[in-house]
Structure 1
Amino acid sequence: MEQGTSMVSDLCAPHDPTRAPQDYRNVVLITEDAARDAVRKLVSSSCCCCRPRAEEPVIERITQTPLFRYRLETFTETRHIEKTCKPYTGQRMEVPERDPPPQLWDIDVGTPKMFHEGSKKFALPRSGEVKMCHKCGGRGRCKCSRCGGSGQFRCRCSSCNRQKSRNKRCPACSGSGRRRCSKCSGRGRRICISCKGEGRLLYYQQLAVNWKTLRSEVVSDPPEQESSVPLILLQKVTGEVLTMDDDATVHPLAGFPDVSERLIQDHRNKCGPSCHILRQRQTVEMIPVAHVQYGYSGKNLSCHVYGTERRVYTKRRLHNLTFGCSIM
């Protein structure tokens, strides 16, 4: 059986977006030794290994069926203005100007680190206005929600159905049937949670900025009409990077025109007037996948070895392969 010893990094041009997937079909990424090690781990994890030295699997055929994953990442910035308030503690107010307020995208918020999600809020200058607190009416205190403003509430002993001794008082209320409210310390009112007892609120506008990365990826179909590795498993492994294009806006790759053009347009459609594209990055990976046919314990078996992690996938459970072992 022929074995390929050259690595994909020696055969492909990482910065050549015009190279098509067909140019890499004959590249051998999973050698016979790598396939044997993967199959050996599969067999050893699937049986109880009754003998000190388990039988070695015999590799009969390896069919390389590499798949290709196209991934598009779009780093976006979304802005919107929201109204908020905070307790007014006598801070100095900026005098509003007659000039119109700045436009949404005229405000400088700095350059974020590309492809690192996050959010920040910036108070807009000259947008403040002091008003009376709507929660407490300017008093700084509100009626206690637990006792209803009375400072006391009914003790449990007064609603207990069990007959109590007449000469024994309840230790919680000393026999009065009423207990002091612990939330307001018996005052009946608590500090307003909106103005923190100040009685006035400073209403102002703030710019809310969110940085988010849109991610989309597509894995190519196997070249043959044979059962391959499920897509959910392929998404959890890495491959060899063939092409990486990082720019303010990327253009469809000539080697992958349909997929790249469709995803690029889809990301553009998701960005409206309040969302701007800051950076885009598109990557093409070759995921090594090999269909391995091997013999073990007198049986002809097969599996798929995939990813640079050399994970193994098989539909068939290995039952009673050696020495009467029962594989669960």
Structure 2
Amino acid sequence: MVKPSKRVESIELSQIRKMFEATNPDAINLGIGEPDFPVPRNIKESMKQAINEDYTHYTPNKGFEDLRLKICEKFQKDNKITTTPDNVIVTSGASEALYDCAQALFEKGDEVLIQDPGFLSYEAIIRLAEANPVPVSTPLEDNFKLKADRVNELITPDTKAIIINSPCNPTGAVIDKKDIKGICELADDHDFMIISDEIYEKIIYGDNKHYSPGAYTDNVITLNGFSKTYAMTGLRIGYLTAPPELTEELLKVHQYNIACASSIAQKGAYEALTGPQNSVKSMVKEFEKRKNLIVKSLNDMGYKTPDCEGAFYAFPRINNPEEFVKTAMDKGVICVLGKAFGPTGEKHVRMSYANSYENIEKAMKILETI
């Protein structure tokens, strides 16, 4: 039997997907980071129309030009990032965009800084590129926020990039403006790339604000998508913008990997950007209501849980998380061990409140009995 490559053997299957696939169908699932809302009706109708009009063939490798133009307008309006359609690639979700970045940029021996706790895919894509992930601790004491000073301490001559995610999965933390600007200055001074995963930028609460590194330096590849903001997870549609000298290299990976993103999903994405945004506002309002419930409930139980600033995850501190997760599962509540997201998550559990308010109420009542 032919053996698999060592780079594939070095990574594990996603702990989140394992929980998803092993879940009791009657359990309350607080493990999956997927909005429980339907795709907005106008987006559905645009995709139906696209099928009826036979938009079912290959698109340009980078995506439909009219969609890329609207993405440029979105970047300028929302993120103060100036780019052109030539420097935008429409991808099969933000996950593909991340993979493209790793394959196009990283080599054996490169070091890539990642938030700890952080989304578990980051470490995997770095290892698949045979580079070395370097965790930057973001502890509870800092409300899980990435600090420029901590980043600075870990920079070496081998530092090729940093991957940042704000708002953050799994903690809900939003990086402060001064730290975004500080990391941009470090990238300029030490000539490394910032890969900014901004998939949760619209899911943000209160007075908190999202700041894009691309507004402060050119050493950035900015990733985003439609999965979280428009509940289009299964449609697999995302995008990136990069400096001109890197776009063609990213396109090579994209082109030989998937050729182009789904034509139908691209038509839905165009409608998402150009159509009414009421559904986004109402979804975020409901997420905030659920967030307030889960954070208060967990703190009342004695599990220290900072107020989540964005995304839809709570990350409570729990002294014996393995026992907690097992007992919760036995009682019908699914959550994920924090250590899956990095060593700083060792004494934590991730809970997603992308579930109904009523289900979260039931789940909290069950967890009170543990």
The structure with more radius of gyration: 1
* Between structures 1 and 2, the one with greater strand share: 1
Q: TM-score, normalised by structure 1?
A: 0.18
TM-score where L is the length of structure 2? 0.16
